Amino acid sequence: MAGKDLKDLLIHQLKDTYYAENAILKALPKLAEAAKADELKGAFGLHVPETQKHVEHLKQVFKLVGERAEGTEFPAIEGIISEGEEAMQEFGGSSALAAALIGSAQAVEHYEIVRYGTMLAWAKQLGLGEVEALLNETLVEEENTDEILSELAEDSINAQAA
Amino acid sequence: MAGKDLKDLLIHQLKDTYYAENAILKALPKLAEAAKADELKGAFGLHVPETQKHVEHLKQVFKLVGERAEGTEFPAIEGIISEGEEAMQEFGGSSALAAALIGSAQAVEHYEIVRYGTMLAWAKQLGLGEVEALLNETLVEEENTDEILSELAEDSINAQAA
């Protein structure tokens, strides 16, 4: 234990995030299916190939740090996704469904944003330039998705739900 | 179901967040105890009275929307906290412990940031000015805590862990 260092922590977090991205990839089609609003359906649909790219980025990062790409089951993302599914059920058929879906999707995005942000700082500290660049590219896209969802909510979805 | 609207969604989320804040209040002393670095111990310690204030804000918000203050057990925050506890065990005694603790605490902060951000947008849409003000005050403090933790990590903790 005492011999563990920041690189071990980065690998620990990579496995968490790899698991999370794959869990999100499974959850996205359900979100897209539940979304009635075309714009929201589109936003969720668009995030599928992006998430696939993020998984590829992680595979490259695993290679760069000399580790096999593998996920470890972590409870946080499962909890966040299951809360989303629960809200989908509770607000299904109501005017607030789309707002609930956006809220759930943004909780997922923020989980990714914080994880990538932390890993990015660790990669920087470790002088892993290529890893840093890959993680940063993903982080920027996650932040962008979060921004798109906020705009969608504030421009139309929340008003329709009120 | 079909009759549910944005106010119901806000109440749903308030119960989630009330549960989360109380869970965080229980977890913070454990984080502070595990933190060896004085600055980090201080940051966690400082967040206890802030979190108590956030719980009070939520109680006021419940009153403003005419609901009894109560939490509903939600799995997301439990998952995020238990990942933190797991990292604490895995990296306990290692040079990377403080970095792991900061990473876990920032995951908690971001969960709160996204929930408060979403609720704030909903309160705004519903024209609930006082609710909006209370949620915003908490949100600003959570963002501030997140910023302090990032600076601490980048200024000293990550370098000590590398």
Of the residues A125, A132, A147, the best mutation for testing chain B's interface (the one with the most B CB atoms within 10 Å of its CB) is A125
Which residue among B9, B78, B113 sits closest to A96, beta carbon to beta carbon?
Answer: B9
> What is the predicted pLDDT for the residue at A2?
59
> Tell me: the pLDDT tens digits for B93-146?
999 999 999 999 999 999 999 999 999 999 999 999 999 999 999 999 999 999
Q: Output the CA angle A63-A69-A70, nearest 5 degrees.
A: 160
Whose CA is closest to A110, among B46, B115, B72? B115
> Tell me: the pLDDT tens digits for A60-109?
999 999 999 999 888 999 999 999 999 999 999 999 999 999 999 999 99
Which pLDDT band, with edges at 50, 70 and 90, does B2 fall under?
low
> Tell me: the pLDDT tens digits for A89-101?
999 999 999 999 9
The answer, yes or no, to whether residue A1 has pLDDT greater than 80, is no
pTM for the structure as a whole: 0.95
Q: Give the Cα separation of A135 and A58 in Å (integer).
A: 8
Q: Amino acid identity, residue B46?
A: L
Note the ipTM here. Answer: 0.93
Q: Output the CA angle B69-B7-B132, nearest 5 degrees.
A: 75
With CA atoms as reference, the chain B residue closest to A114 would be: B107
Of the residues A14, A15, A80, the best mutation for testing chain B's interface (the one with the most B CB atoms within 10 Å of its CB) is A80
Count of A–B CB contacts within 8 Å? 171
For range A135-141, the mean pLDDT: 98
> What is the predicted pLDDT for the residue at B127?
97
The answer, yes or no, to whether residue B157 has pLDDT greater than 90, is yes
For range A17-37, the mean pLDDT: 93
Whose CA is closest to B83, among A69, A1, A146, A78? A78
Mean of pLDDT over chain B: 94
The answer, yes or no, to whether residue B44 has pLDDT greater than 60, is yes
Quick check: A6 and B83 CB within 8 A? Answer: no
Which residue among A75, A106, A121 sits closest to B83, beta carbon to beta carbon?
Answer: A75
> What is the predicted pLDDT for the residue at A74?
85
